[in-house]
Amino acid sequence: MGSPHAEGIPLRELAARCGAELAGNGEVVIDRVAPLDNAGDGAIAFLSDPKYRSHLARTGASAVIVAPADAQGTALPKLVAANPYAAYAQVAAILHPRRPPLPAIHPTAVIAAGARVAATAAVAAHAVIGERARVGERVEVGAGAVIGEDATVGDDCLLHAHVVVYARSVIGARTIVHSGAVIGADGFGMAEDEGRWIKVPQLGRVVIGSDVEIGANTTIDRGAIGDTVIGDDVKLDNQIQIGHNCNIGAHTAIAGCVGIAGSTTIGRNCKIGGAAMISGHLEIADGTMISAATGVFESITVPGIYTGVFPALPHREWKHVAGAIRRLRSVLWRLRALERGQNDRES
């Protein structure tokens, strides 16, 4: 667990800062968050999933964050919030703040003469920033990160070690990019010509909004002619692949290992489960939820939950089922024949 807050913060102040209702002793000093079942003196824990209600009575925490319905479940000092997990997120950020980097450029960093790096930015060892790139206020550029020519990184961004931002990419404010992510590589575009491939130059950009988070080793390709666009407050987990000319709407969250082929538009406030695969040139409606490991091959115009997964079975059972699946057509034929026979008898 991250280091505790140096002096701690009274519960009363936490309540005020996250907009939750205070119940009980507001003077208790809290210096860290902890899980309900492993919290000690000075810690605050939260209950969001009713499955863990039994932990509430037994917790060793000094205070808890609960929903109104659970407020009676403990005599501890508490924050009561309609959305305890959101309140917890705020409290945790207050108690475990990210240490602001010292504004400094490491002597081993290589910054082109024509790059514009804000005086408040921090650039770590071996980072490389190309010609005419712009790096905003308070940006943190991790060790070995590479920012290409003419790229723009907005204020307060955090690029972890080894992030690669290709030339001309644009990243909004307060965006976090984790190590190994590659922003703006060429899209997968080529023309077939008598059995050989001719590369189609990829001339567009990647344009990323503000308050975005991009996971480790995720890749987002530049557009072929136009741009690939990632909206504000989009959250991308690790090892996601987003093809050229995709457009991901604001507030959409995508779990790890998802692949989205080129030119697909995902709406706003969508949620896409891990390892889902979405074909190219589709439109997915705002607010759509795609289950994990689901393949999507047609546009979705009606929001809802969509699933397409063959259920895992004990292998022996699966073999029979997989065999039966191959014979499904004949099942339909045979059914029809039987129905016809029955009809004949009944007529």
Residues labelled as active-site residues? 244
Q: Which two tokens stand for residue 242?
A: 């987003």
Spatial neighbors of 126 by CB under 8 A, at least 6 apart, are: 106, 108, 109, 110, 143, 144
User: Which CB, 17 or 27, lies closer to a copy of itself?
Assistant: 17
User: Which CB, 134 or 271, lies closer to a copy of itself?
Assistant: 271
| Nearest-approach distance from CB 119 to a copy of itself, in angstroms | 22
From the CB of residue 77, how many other CB atoms can be counted at a distance below 10 Å?
22
| Nearest-approach distance from CB 231 to a copy of itself, in angstroms | 12
| Nearest-approach distance from CB 204 to a copy of itself, in angstroms | 6
User: Which CB, 27 or 125, lies closer to a copy of itself?
Assistant: 125
Q: Which two tokens stand for residue 86?
A: 């959101």
Q: Closest Cα partner for 168 from 189, 188, 190, 153?
A: 153
Q: Closest Cα partner for 19 from 71, 73, 79?
A: 79
The number of residues in the chain equals: 347
Per the CB < 8 A criterion, the answer to whether 61 and 34 are in contact is yes
User: Which CB, 25 or 94, lies closer to a copy of itself?
Assistant: 94
| Nearest-approach distance from CB 39 to a copy of itself, in angstroms | 9
CA 281, 287, 288: angle at the middle one, nearest 5?
A: 55
| Nearest-approach distance from CB 324 to a copy of itself, in angstroms | 4
Instruction: Measure the CA–CA gap between 19 and 17, rounded to whole angstroms.
Output: 6
Instruction: Measure the CA–CA gap between 309 and 296, rounded to whole angstroms.
Output: 11
User: Which CB, 25 or 155, lies closer to a copy of itself?
Assistant: 155
DSSP 82-126: SSHHHHHHHHHHHHSPPPPPPS-B-TT-EE-TT-EE-TT-EE-TT
Question: Are β-strands 228-230 and 247-248 bridged in parallel, bridged antiparallel, or unpaired?
Answer: parallel
